Amino acid sequence: MSIQTTKPKFLYGTAWKEDRTQELVELAVAQGFRAIDTANQRKHYDEAGVGRAIAAAIESGKTTREDMFLQTKFTYQRGQDHRLPYDPDAPISDQVRQSFDNSLAHLQTTYIDSYILHGPSTRTGLARDDWAAWKAMEEIHASGRTRHLGISNVGLDQLKALCDGASVLPEYVQNRCYASKGWDRDIRAFCAANGIAYQGFSLLTANRAVLKQPELIKIAKRHGKSLNQTLFRFALDVDMVVLTGTTNADHMKADLAIVDFKLSEGEIKIIENLMLA
């Protein structure tokens, strides 16, 4: 069995898809996406819908499990609604194990490619619960049931602390990425220096003002690309993994088509500094 070993450049994000989750994930796979991001957090995701979509795509011959990269997350109770995937009275380590086993069932698979801690339990630093959760994730990793670990919604101080204290280092960081905050430049630099792949989400929805900037419009016209494509190309060129959650088949195709051009160093620098003045 040949497992996908290369890190994806694109992830199809499944948040807020609700009863359209299966339909849209099947559509994304049909358009060429082979990496899917979800979470065992029924408040915002339908993880079981993702699993049904992947199973259907495999059954129809559109893909194989080995060709897919499936990423899901453990979410603390504060980020959940009443539909919890674990016993809220259990220790955090047990909650992680219960949530993971539940994810395997939802996704109809025997392993997860990337398992993510869906944000630390506090705004600064790492609390006892975070270390308990990460230890449980490390044990799952040691069992071979997940191939990579990661963390999302994380600050630089927290990421440094995790890397200093963990036995298994994170291989992915997934953050909301704002132009007004330098596109998470400090965290991206730390990731680059430590072999961590940075996944940027809300690249469009968090940066609507950027899409109106004359400088970006000029760059897009120069390449004959849309504003969305140009912004995603920028993300690839600064070594981000691009998350997109579009529900439009044409947009899915357009997103994946950005591999056929690159921005110049000067254009990258312009976009890097948009909204910072």
Q: Are 198 and 184 in contact (CB under 8 A)?
A: yes
- CA dist 32 and 63 (Å) reads 9
Which residues span the domain enclosing 31? 10-176
Is 232 part of a structural domain of the chain? no
The CA dihedral of 274, 240, 16, 18, to the nearest 10 degrees, is 150
Is 256 part of a structural domain of the chain? no
pLDDT tens-digit readout, 194-243: 999 999 999 999 999 999 999 999 999 999 999 999 999 999 999 999 99
| 3-state class (DSSP) for residue 100 | helix
Is 241 part of a structural domain of the chain? no
Is 239 part of a structural domain of the chain? no
| Cross-strand bridge partners of residue 149 | 115
Is 162 part of a structural domain of the chain? yes
- CA dist 193 and 173 (Å) reads 13
Is 24 part of a structural domain of the chain? yes
pLDDT exceeds 90 at position 6: no
Residue 70, domain CATH: 3.20.20.100
pLDDT tens-digit readout, 143-179: 999 999 999 999 999 999 999 999 999 999 999 999 9
- What is the domain count for the chain? 1
- pTM: predicted TM-score of the whole model, two decimal places: 0.95
| 3-state class (DSSP) for residue 112 | strand
Instruction: Determine the pLDDT at residue 1.
Output: 37
